Structure 1
Amino acid sequence: MVRENTAEILELANYRVLTAQNGKEGVHVATQSKPDLIVCDIMMPVLDGYGVLHLLGRDEKTADIPFIFLTARSEKEDYRKGMVMGADDYLTKPFDDVELLNAVQTRLNKIDRIKKSFDRSSEGLDHFLSEASGLNGLENLVANKRVKSLKKKDLLYSEGSYPASIFFLQKGKVKEFRRNEQGKEYITNLYKEGDFLGYLDLLQGDSYQQSATCLESSEVAIIPKDDFLRLLEGNRSVALKFIRMLSDNVRDREQKLLHLAYNSVRKRVAESLVALVNRYQQDKSVPFMMAISREDIASMTATATETVIRVLSDFKDERLVELKGSTITILDYDRLVRMRN
């Protein structure tokens, strides 16, 4: 009866509704249809609401679907259990039509904003964290954010130290790198304004496997470790955003390793220049200009600095780049992309 009444209310508000008679059937329906939101009773035959939430949370295809519990149980422990498991809201019966519709619309609106790419700026970070924290009561997350100004070559974190925060680059450019036993540096990542960094080792509970330093004057927002972890544990949409970022990071590194193993030095230098353009400039139709040391380019290509200098000199003769001190201007991005091995 409750299921039919709830479905009728939502259908009258022009929502398309699918229903299931028990928890097991509900998991199947959700997996097959991947709805925008799930309203689920706790007390159900075959599989209760907690079991439904648990199974859907384990499946990547359904883990980020907003989940509202609908139940006659109003004990604090029941509420806490649902929220700890990842429920987004909790309505206690009896409820009226307006309560249900407000809960559904509010949840859809917030999740929609979370899923969108946030504006990669300080204000964008505040907006992203405000939306995320509002979903699970971490209202102080943004307020705790501290901003630190750094100069060129300043160290953000060092290999072997343990993370206490994650960082959001509000301004500037940062490189992440590792050193081998001989002290030779290899750049593993480049970060631009709007990027998070330092979260991989924090999530793994390990010391930093790399160091990070500024390529130019920069500003970073520092988000405390405990606040960040609570945010991930309490909100599946935010957690999945970082999972996707981690997946992209792994794919990028695998691609780099393949290129280092099989590409010529000339091709690798061209790819490093292309990577700089892709990372720091959206409009590829205008020349890209950046001050970067030859040592840093050598670290990106895993070759000697002297070799990089010779290759860049060849590129200059071929009108691919222009060199002025430490500044490199990319004149022909397309030809660098098409560089033969």
Structure 2
Amino acid sequence: MAARKLLLIEDEPQLRLNTADLLELSGYRVQTAGSGKEGVQLALTDKPDLVLCDVMMPGLDGYGVLQIFSHHPDLMAIPFIFLTAKAERADLRKGMELGADDYLTKPFGEAELIGAIETRLRLADQRRSPANTAHTLGDFLNDVQHRDGLASLAANRVGHPIKRRKVIYAEGDDPTKIYFVQSGKVRTQRENAEGKELVTGLYGPGDFFGYTALLENRSYEDTALALEDSTLCYIPKDDFLNLLFCHADVARSFIKLLANTIADQERQLLGLAYNSLRKRVASGLLKYVRRFQAESGTALTVSLTREELGMLSGTATESLIRTLGDFRDEGIIDLRDGKIVVTDPGRLERLKW
């Protein structure tokens, strides 16, 4: 197999020479350019398999080079790695928004550099390979639901039983996987400085959760636990990221999931800040009912303890109990076998205060 061809764009001569020597010793063919403009011209003349590009350069800087690549049909699919002495979050975000595949901060080690290059070349090969185009998100969801089609994932292909109230991950843990709910119900919650807990998400069969922290490469800021006996599928971090990198439609679907999650949380925060007590309790009941109303036989039954419902609606337990009593007296809910049954969801929807 012919050596892979890399284009190194770096305006500092000694660093450019040293990096090129290292890459050639590692078995790559290397073209070098001392400016952004020269790098673009070289790429158009002799298309590389991957680009390593400095950010801060006179004239056409790295961001400008990437912008040209991302809009040129012959260059846009080439893996692009930024090399930079800057590691500010805003700089990283700007590069990723423009379409950079990776970001190495100077000084970087040999293993770090070669590892990043090998990873990006491998993912680019997978994107081009017809054998690796079978799993869109729709296929993946269908496979999970039928429990027999996870062959494309490397590990943890079986459902894992989780007992009611068991913690799945805790605030401060590092994400190593995302979770898919095969059966049961899961909630996520956060605790403020005063120790007050608030439910931030409800998840049931067919839902993914735990992906936000993984995508942002940070520790969990919430805790997840099972609301009832559940079965979860674990998708390892590397397999999940490979799936995103290899399938644009999967990436778009998860971006949509992330956007919807953020929008839901913003609406919840606004409601907690400005709604009356009755409205907050009504919103908590409706949130649960809407999420799980498709389950046969439990369409309008809220299987939460009073404490859990208080966390969902941002309400003290004592105030919640009084409000539920009012709703029962008004015929909006009923209490059956210790569970809340919403008998008039329309009135909950119409509550203005």
Output the TM-score relative to the length of structure 1. 0.64
**What residue number does 1:291 align with?**
303
Confirm or deny that 1:84 pairs with 2:117: no
Q: Which structure has more RCO (C-alpha within 8 Å, separation ≥ 6)?
A: 1
CA distance in structure 1 between the aligned counterparts of 2:186 and 2:264, rounded to whole angstroms: 17
- Which residue is 1:13 aligned to? none
Is 2:180 the counterpart of 1:157? no
Number of the residue aligned with 2:261? 249
Question: Does the C-alpha gap of structure 1 residues 187 and 120 become closer, same or farther in structure 2, counting only changes over 3 Å?
Answer: farther
Q: Which residue of 2 aligns with 1:8?
A: none
RMSD (CA atoms): 3.4
Write the deviation string for residues 140-169 of structure 1: whole angstroms up to 9, x where unpaired: 406542422111111000001111111111
Q: CA deviation at 1:335?
A: 1.1
Measured against aligned partners, the alpha-carbon deviations of 1:80-107 in whole angstroms (never above 9, x if no partner) come to 85961884458xxxxxxxxxxxx9xx97
For 2:76, the equivalent position in structure 1 comes to 51
Return the offset for 1:58.
Answer: 7.1
Question: Which one of 222, 229, 234 corresponds to residue 234 of structure 2?
Answer: 222
Instruction: Report if the CA contact (8 A) 1:178-1:187 is conserved.
Output: yes
User: Of 243, 263, 266, which residue of structure 1 is paired with 2:275?
Assistant: 263
Q: Per the alignment, in what secondary structure is the counterpart of residue 216 of structure 1?
A: coil
Q: C-alpha distance in 2, partners of 1:332/1:286?
A: 15
Alignment match, 2:341: 329
Distance 1:257 1:181 in 2: 17
Listed as ranges, the matches of 1:90-109 within 5 Å are none
2:187 equivalent in structure 1: 175
Determine the structure 2 residue equivalent to 1:41. none
Decide whether aligned partners of structure 1 residues 215 and 238 sit closer, same or farther in structure 2, where only a CA change above 3 A counts. same
What is the CA-CA distance between 1:326 and the residue it aligns to?
3.6
Q: Is the 8 A contact 2:186 2:225 kept in 1?
A: yes
Alpha-carbon distance in 2 for matches of 1:286, 1:302: 24
CA shift, 1:186, in A, is 0.5
1:189 aligns to 2:212 (yes or no): no
Residue type of the alignment partner of 1:169: V
Counterparts in 2 of 1:280 and 1:287: CA distance versus 1, 3 Å: closer
- Give the Cα–Cα distance (whole angstroms) in 2 for the partners of residues 332 and 339 of structure 1: 11
Give the letter aligned to residue 152 of structure 1.
R
* Pairing partner for 1:206 from 205, 218, 231: 218
Q: Is the 8 A contact 1:152 1:214 kept in 2?
A: yes
Contact 2:155–2:235 under 8 Å retained in 1: no
In 2, the alpha carbon distance for the partners of 1:175 and 1:82 equals 36
Q: Which moved more, 1:143-152 or 1:186-195?
A: 143-152
Gaps of 5+ in 2: 1-43, 45-70, 81-95, 100-116
Q: Classify 1:329/1:230 alpha carbon distance in 2 versus 1 (closer, same or farther; 3 Å).
A: same
Check 1:220–1:115 CA distance in 2 against 1; reply closer, same or farther (3 A cut). Answer: closer
Q: Give the C-alpha shift of residue 119 in structure 1.
A: 4.3
Is the contact made by 1:315 and 1:321 (CA closer than 8 Å) also made in structure 2?
yes
Q: Does 1:122 align with 2:145?
A: yes
CA contact (8 A) 2:79 2:124 kept: no
Structure 1 residue 284: Cα displacement: 11
Tell me how many residue pairs correspond in the alignment.
250
The alignment-based identity, stated in percent, is 36
| Equivalent-residue separation in structure 2 for 1:226 and 1:89 (angstroms) | 19
**Cα distance between partner residues in 2 of 1:340 and 1:53:** 55
Cα separation, 2, equivalents of 1:243 and 1:226 = 18
